[in-house]
Amino acid sequence: MPLSVAQPPAAASASSLWRLRGYLKPHRWALLAMLVASLGGVALSIAIPLVTKALIDGPITRHELGPVLPLGLLAIGLGVLEAVFIFWRRWVQSNAVLGLETSLRRDLYDRLQHLPMSFHTRWQSGQLLSRVTTDLSAIRRFSGFGLLFLLINIVQLLTVTVVLLMMYWPLGLVVATAAVPIIWLSMRFEKAYVVVSRRVQDQQGDLATLAQEGAVGIRVIKSFGRSRHVCEQYDEAAREQRLTSLDKVRLAAKFWTFLEMIPNLAVVVVLLLGAIGVGRGLLTPGELVAFITLMLSLVWPVSSLGVILAMSQEAMTAAARVLEIFDTEPDIVTGERRVGQARGHLRFEHVDFAFPDAPDQLVLRDVNLDVAPGQTLALVGATGSGKTSLTALVARLFDVTGGRITIDDVDIRDLDLRELRSLVATAFEEPTLFSMSAHENVTLGRPDAATDEVLSALELAQAGFVHELPWGLDTRIGEQGLSLSGGQRQRLALARAVLARPKVLVLDDTLSALDVHTEALVEEALSRVLSETTGLIVAHRASTVMLADQVALLQGGTVTHVGTHRELLDTVPAYRELLAADVAGGDGPAADGDATTDPDTDPDPNTDADTDVDRAQVRA
């Protein structure tokens, strides 16, 4: 399954992890303590075999019992101290590593919130989810375990090898020679593992996307009886991910098998040569025991090298995937100006717009509109005419390609984004509700709203149903509001937009899911709100047009006519056809059989059409 990303995957390398080093800086003292404790543990692990050597070659060989107890107690003391160092290192390590992950997770989520809609339309939600969860966990594991032990194991390997060479150089040379195939295998393993690791992590993102879509779209899937189909889709993707994971496991298994074999072969050779050395008097029994003990202490660093290298490759890949988000330059940059005492005068001046991924295909062309403070403009047009795209430009969900949009004569691109989005509130046709209480959903745009203001906004939006929920306003709304009907979700979203008390209120066909009676009540209340703010309404229903002072007709991405409802109805056939289609579709009395227009007997068919539209507002 191909990735929905704007650029090819970034190459994973150590430089990707190095770029995230700033997150370790606040924990530098903890990292230093971890390093000291770890190196102390290495020194003690080397010292204990040397004490054993002194014990065997000294009092045991000479049959002297006196020094045995002090040397034995010294070895025990060194072992206890090593355990203390290990405990100290792990305790300090957990705080530092979890702090690193928390900071990185916070910044990544903050970055996702600041990236524009053009970014989010190009990326699958599952790919973003896997980066915020799985990839950050991989970075944490390597930062807390892999990086530290990679350093410690290298230090231990080098130090012990030097000690062994000094103790008896022929055997030390055997140990040093065993490192050559390990280094060669590690280099080959690293190149192959980074490729398969990236593929597995990308496929995990694709699986997360399918799981997320299946959960959010469960009602649609069930209603069309497509559960088996989506299960097969998920199963196919899961099988692909399984096969890639098996490739990854096979690659790691081969590498780890060789890592286990090489130290064991080296131990056999050392035992053979060591026994010969003792027999010829070139090596004491104590030196041989110490040598074998020290060599066995290298088994764990060598055998763990495969795990650590695998972990490092996964972390490098994860860091590269995370940096793909951090490196994305937002095409919407905040300005610095503030309007001050805003009035809400909205103006479109020769506006062109094309989506970033199709810059040559203009969705809007030379749009000119002027909406005075307190005035409401309805946008009417056929599907695909550009109405929703136009409303998305007001809050800078996308930026204009040409021309400009101003509020109170200030280009919205010059405004601070927080300022702009406090001036503009939008209620969408497909509202998004979050997995939080009804109260939190409504006050999302204005958390400090008083209780009476919240209740007033709910009453205006005819959203009194929230009081009948099990815990009233404190009832937790399920993810995406799936426990509510479409009309209920729209009413809560409308209450949220109204409560924000914006200077510019954008309603993107917000009443489409309401029944005619509820729509009439909402429109009556909305008319009072819109008299005090600048309104921009996408209208598909004839009744919604009646809320507007002016109507703009969009055709093919261009505003072809602007005027009052009566003017356009009388002079623009295309506008009349759009409303006639709406009335015929069930929003007018003719659809219910309440009234009909007979063009052969009525001298003014337009008058009757207008009457039908007017009636549509109050039809119950």
What does the pLDDT read at residue 349? 95
* Count of C-beta atoms within a 10 Å radius of residue 616: 27
Which residues make up the CATH 1.20.1560.10 domain(s) of the chain? 14-326
Sheet holding 534-538, edge to edge: 424-427, 504-508, 534-538, 376-381, 550-555, 558-563
pTM (global) more than 0.85: no
- Copy the structure tokens of residue 351: 């506006």
Look at residue 368 in the predicted model and tell me its pLDDT. 95
Are residues 166 and 172 in contact, defined by beta-carbon separation less than 8 angstroms?
Answer: yes
Residue 312 token pair:
């490092």
DSSP symbols for 556-616: TTEEEEEE-HHHHHHH-HHHHHHHHHHIIIIISHHHHTS----TTT-S-HHHHHHHHHHHH
How does pLDDT run across 437-474, given as a tens digit for each residue?
Answer: 889 989 988 888 899 999 999 998 888 889 988 898 99
Classify domain 346-616 at the CATH class level.
alpha beta
**What per-residue confidence (pLDDT) applies to 552?**
94
Query: Which strand (E) or helix (H) includes residue 77?
Result: helix 68-114
Task: Show Cβ contacts of residue 212 under 8 Å, excluding neighbours closer than 6 positions.
Answer: 125, 126, 129
Interatomic CA distance for residues 584 and 578, integer angstroms: 10
Beta carbons of 511 and 537 less than 8 angstroms apart: no
At residue 288's C-alpha, the angle toward residues 282 and 289, to 5°, is: 160
- Cβ neighbourhood burial of 357 (10 Å; 0-12, 13-18, 19+): exposed
Amino acid at 409: D
- State the helix-helix crossing angle for 516-530 and 451-460, rounded to 10 degrees: 130
211 residue type, one letter: A
Amino acid at 144: G
Q: Going from the first residue of the chain to its last (620 residues), give the mean pLDDT of each consecutive group of 10, the final group possibly shorter.
A: 43 79 85 85 87 84 80 87 86 82 90 85 82 87 82 84 83 81 77 80 83 72 77 88 88 79 81 83 84 81 76 86 88 83 91 88 93 92 88 91 93 91 84 85 88 91 88 81 78 87 86 76 81 87 83 92 90 85 44 34 38 35
Please, how many CA atoms are within 13 Å of residue 469, restricted to the half-sphere of its CB? Answer: 19
Residue 335 has φ and ψ, to the nearest 5°, of -90, -170
- C-alpha 443/C-alpha 324 separation (Å) is 33
Q: What confidence score (pLDDT) does residue 10 get? A: 55
Report the half-sphere exposure of 561 (CA within 13 A, side-chain side).
Answer: 19
| Separation of alpha carbons 495 and 504, rounded Å | 15
Q: What is the CATH number of domain 14-326?
A: 1.20.1560.10
Domain with CATH 3.40.50.300 in the chain: 346-616
Q: What is the DSSP string of 19-45?
A: TTGGGTGGGHHHHHHHHHHHHHHHHHH
Coil, helix or strand for 125? helix
Q: H or E element: which one contains 522?
A: helix 516-530
